Chain A
Amino acid sequence: MAISRICLLLIFCSFQLAAQELDSLLLDPVEITADPISEYSSGGKKRDVSNQLDGIYSSSDLSAFLMANTPIYMRQLGAAGQTSTISFRGTGAGHSAVYWNGININSMTLGQTDFSLVPLVAAEKLSVLYGSGASLTGTDAIGGSIHMSTESRPIVGTQISFSQELGSFGMNHSRLSFRTGNKRWQHSTKIYYTGIENDFDTNYRDSTYSQNNAASINAGLLHRSVLKLNKTQWLAFDGWYHQSNRELQPKVGDFSNTDELKNESIRLLMSYKRVSKFLNLRLRGGFVLDDQEYNHGETYGTSRWTAGGEMDHQIFKTLKYRVGFDLMNIQTMVDKYTNDIQETRTDLYVSLTYNPLPDLILSANLRQTLVLEFNAPLTPSLGADLNLWTLENQQIKLRGMISRSYKVPTFNDRYWNPGGNPDLDSEKGWSWETGLTHELTKDNWNLKSDVGWFYLSVEDWIMWIPQGSLWSPENVRKVNSKGIEIEEELNLNFRKTMFSIKANLSWIHAVNQLGIVENDETVGKLLPYTPEWNANIGLTVINGPFNWSLSTRYVGERFTEQSNMGLIVEAYQVWDTGIEYEKKFNRIEAKLRFTVFNLTHQDYENFLNRAMPGRSYQLGLYLNTIKF
């Protein structure tokens, strides 16, 4: 009961946007590690989806969650656990940044994140920042960025949670978390394991066979400790170890493939925060190790040390600024590079937020990456949030933002042997967007609508092209992407039943602008794997101990080839549904959930020639001790 009430509360809070009360200077004491996006990102579109983490995708990875709850398209190279990369607002896999406690976890070698390696359990809080975030957080955030944080409200006492799920195709998920705290210390440890065989029925030509070589195991450990030094200072430690062992799902009809991939990563972070009436200080230091091994052969590893700090200063009641720096020293250990590379990057940034009128907030940001090996552009941004019209129970807000973004050339692009091109430039982009939000609150229902329009342009996009006997990357591509995103959310309380509907609809038109070869027929054509239409709807009904959810998503057709003349992957729609029953015992809250994925047994593909499973079932048991 208590959990569902909290959920309801959070549902109503989830749509809160940037118009913050600036006279509460003391940041929420839980935000020690970092949540830099909320204050200085006026004009941008951001969504806090933390309250949805506990839904039917709670044991899934970030890819399944984002596909179901946002208009972001994920390219999934097969069933659960297989490589998934992001396509945010029509941009490429490396054009979105993923942050864990402020650390960009995009691979240093590939410059992107495999979302199947990011389990949802690694986040206590999750936010999505649409559009360019370079001026705030640096490289890669061109189409958007995902922010995961392990911050949570401090507790007094001890809390233990355990969950176990079993599902079709050999799915097995276990999670144990242990939290304890007092006024001075907070500790939290989480262990998780997900294994799946993925031997689902696959259709191939006129027959059916059992999918081969698609099994995966993901397991890891998270820990967070926070020490409250005194009323104004905190020290926090975060650690995350994740290991993935999986078979790489082959194309349909490839019965003899035995490719495997092993991934390991360690992320450690120490943070310090100090608050005072007009000045806040944050310092951080971290270490990240990423390692990949393909077919028990070649390894691809990078490690980096990071250090950073920022200071927030409230000059006037209406004006606040931040200055900060981020240092990173990267070391590569990749078999395919001629030598091991060491690189140091320094980021300097300054942010400003100004509240000139009660209904208007302006933000300006500037960030510059300094590195010897390549050039990164200066990335400024400017944004505004305006309360257009406020009535007794209605509010209309307008937002607008313009910003510059960039992406550093990856280590693979520069140093891969053969073909790597160390003279590559950064990819660069400009984007602007605007949007209108309408909120209507009545006695027992509320409705929120958001309509946004964006335009972004990326140039010097790096592509590997054959040059004689070798393939080599060049800054050759230019893409313009524009689109409309519509979001609706309705919450209704009727006869002791709570209804919630969330819907997303997006139209994205990502078009190639530059030709590369003679008679290039790719100019003016839509990019491959960027569907024009994308939609999802989620319905949740809560009545007493029961919670029923139904979710559907539609993905439009996708071209597989740059001139749009090749094969097309058909549009598809998938339905998922789950029902939960909750019961409170003396000291334990228990929840039982039964979920059906792909309810209609749809035969579809996300990526060409990689089969997706038909209908599958999952049964889960979730136990929480009431803190003692």
Chain B
Amino acid sequence: MKKIVKFVIYSICALLAIGCESEEPIVFQGIRIGGKVTRIELSAATISDIGQTSATLSTEALTLDGNLPITQHGHVWSSVNQEPTTSDSKTEFGELTVAGIFITELENLVPNTTYFVRSYVITASGTGYSNQINAFTTSDAPFDVLVINEGNFFSGDGSLSTYQSFTREVNLSAFAAANGFPIGATLQNILPYNNQMYMVTNAPDKLEILDPETLESIDIINAGFENPIGFAAVGTKGYVSNWGDISTAFGPNPDSYITVIDLETNLITGTIDLNSRPQELLAFGDKVYIANEGGSSISVIDTNTDLITDIVTESGPSELILDANEHIWAICTGGFLVEIDPLSGLVVQTIPNVEVSGFDEKMTVSGDGNTIYFLSVASFPSTETKVFEFEITSTTAPSEALIEGENFYGIGIHPASNTLYIGNSNGFISNGEVLLYDTEGNELDDFNTGIGPNGFVFVD
């Protein structure tokens, strides 16, 4: 009578760039129209042959209801609407009188985008849809992932690697390949902004501006920083967080500060003194938020005035992300996740008992802003590291790790494919590796990268 719903989905994502693919037809207990179940049965839409701008949709009509003729059928799809309807893009194949497969060939899609797809039928009683299936089209740029490789502090062999998630092409030293000389420093951070790429390095301490596509060095600010870490920008102003003199940075009176830069001239316009040692920055609205890992607060710079205020949090906020509700989350070395509403400037929630590393936390958020992933490094002498998953709707800290391994040093998540990228430092003994996982914790792929991969940047 009714076929049991079998739901087998597994992703072979990075290899074939397919969001998901089902093996057996998924049979629904008829298509619901106007709340009533019919005897029309369709298989779930399947998506195959996904490329950078194209995809093939296929549905099998299994059973038709003789009393309810189908006057119109096809596929609907949207990159915006998670439940696409006939108001969105659609194909129209007319009457459906014989069971069989109907296929839509999609073209001219936008690369690096997730598309949501359903099959539909129109009868005299109304329109019915199958369940939604989604997949993402891959990037057509020469690279869509940048890997930040710190390098060894003494040698200054930091590097930038690039990766194309569809072709799996790796450029181990993309900066050196583009410029003819290596970075020559420890690479801390890189951020795309306003059609430029801003790169923060230590020893020498500088901010280098790159072309976002070719990675060629356009300009460089050589002085005015001391142990810089993070970069954020609002409007035409850039802000860099500096630990300051290393001999006082970890003491009670650090000489930490923010360097303010005019991004139109690439000249430093001033500095803002900080009371605590800062780590990462986040820009939202017209404000820049500073995670003060050396203290217990998040500083807020109003970029119109460059005046600074503080939001008190738990001890050691280290990294900041923006979630789906436009709230800022901070992960704290004291073992907390703190949620802040930027509009009110108040702490909305503090989640305790978070298993953190205790220093230089690494955190990322999924493309839809709903799930946070962070690393936790076990204490000496263990070399174990864990990846934890946290839904923003959750109120308790995750207790079980999603992924466990050794020497994880950086984490990122591809906003389109939802693939986790984990940087493995190999203990800084040699070049590092990037491991790709799906959000279920299954290992998908890996590739070699430079020394000490500490983070990722995903670009279109």
Contact = CB atoms under 8 A, between A and B. Distances in A.
Nearest to B435: A519
Interface string A510-530: 000000111111100000000
B430 A466 contact: no
B433 A609 contact: no
A257 interface: yes
B157 A567 contact: yes
B314 to A, nearest CB: 19
B132 interface: no
Interface string B414-438: 0000000000011111110100000
Given A255-B222, A561-B430, A467 B155 contact: no
Interface residues of B, number: 44
B29 interface: no
B450 interface: yes
A255 B429 contact: no
B431 A565 contact: yes
Nearest to A515: B429
B153 to A, nearest CB: 10
Contacts of B377: 468-469
Given A467-B380, A517-B426, A565 B448 contact: yes
B451 A566 contact: yes
Interface stretch (A15-23, A160-168, A246-254, A490-498): A246-254
Interface stretch (B180-188, B295-303, B345-353): B180-188
B380 A256 contact: no
Interface in B162-186: 172-173, 176, 181-182, 184-185
Given A253-B204, A255-B223, A516 B156 contact: no
B358 interface: yes
Interface string A554-598: 000000111101110000000000000000000000000000000
B427 A465 contact: yes
A253 B181 CA distance: 12
B172 A468 contact: no
Interface in B373-387: 377-384
A469 B380 CA distance: 5
A466 B157 contact: no
A315 interface: no
Interface string B52-82: 0000000000000000000000000000000
A608 interface: yes
Interface size grouping (class) on chain A: 35 or more
Contacts of A609: 155-157, 184
Interface string B201-237: 0011110000000000100001100000000000000
Nearest to A465: B427
B156 A608 contact: yes
Contacts of A231: none
Contacts of A297: 247
Contact of B407 (A251, A419, A466, A470): A466
A469 B357 contact: yes
A560 B428 CA distance: 12
B140 to A, nearest CB: 28
A313 B109 CA distance: 93
Contacts of A522: 429-430
Given A467-B381, A469-B379, A608 B157 contact: yes
A205 interface: yes
A5 B222 CA distance: 57
A472 interface: yes
A253 B184 contact: yes
B83 to A, nearest CB: 43
Nearest to B357: A469
Contacts of B427: 465-466, 516-517
Nearest to B149: A566
A470 B381 contact: yes
B204 A518 contact: no
Contacts of A252: 184
Contacts of A468: 377-384
Contacts of A295: 247
A562 B380 contact: no
Max count, chain B CB within 10 A of own CB: residue among A251, A522, A560: A251
Contacts of A517: 383, 406-407, 426-427, 429
Contact of A565 (B172, B176, B182, B425): B172
A250 B206 CA distance: 14
Contact of A467 (B156, B383, B431): B383
B381 A561 contact: no
A472 B406 contact: no
Nearest to A477: B429
Interface string B382-417: 111000000000000000000001110000000000
A251 B185 CA distance: 8
Contacts of A467: 380-383
A472 B450 contact: no
B116 interface: no
Nearest to B378: A468
Contacts of B172: 565
A82 B218 CA distance: 33
B250 interface: no
Contacts of A463: 429
Contacts of A254: 156, 185, 203-204
B102 interface: no
A566 B382 contact: no
A472 B381 contact: yes
A466 B184 contact: no
B359 interface: yes
Contacts of A608: 155-157
Contacts of B450: 566
A195 B204 CA distance: 26
Contacts of B379: 468-469
B240 to A, nearest CB: 15
Interface in A461-481: 463, 465-470, 472
Interface in B332-346: none
A38 to B, nearest CB: 39
Interface in B245-283: 247
Given A251-B185, A469-B359, A521-B430, 20 more contacts: A253-B206, A256-B204, A257-B204, A295-B247, A467-B382, A468-B379, A468-B382, A468-B384, A469-B357, A469-B380, A470-B381, A516-B429, A517-B383, A517-B406, A518-B405, A520-B429, A563-B431, A565-B172, A608-B157, A609-B156
18 contacts: A251-B156, A253-B184, A253-B185, A256-B205, A256-B223, A418-B380, A466-B407, A467-B381, A467-B382, A468-B379, A468-B383, A469-B357, A517-B427, A519-B433, A561-B431, A565-B430, A609-B156, A609-B157
Interface of A: 205, 250-257, 295, 297, 418-419, 463, 465-470, 472, 516-522, 560-563, 565-567, 608-609
The 3 closest A-B pairs by CB, nearest first: A254-B204, A563-B430, A562-B430
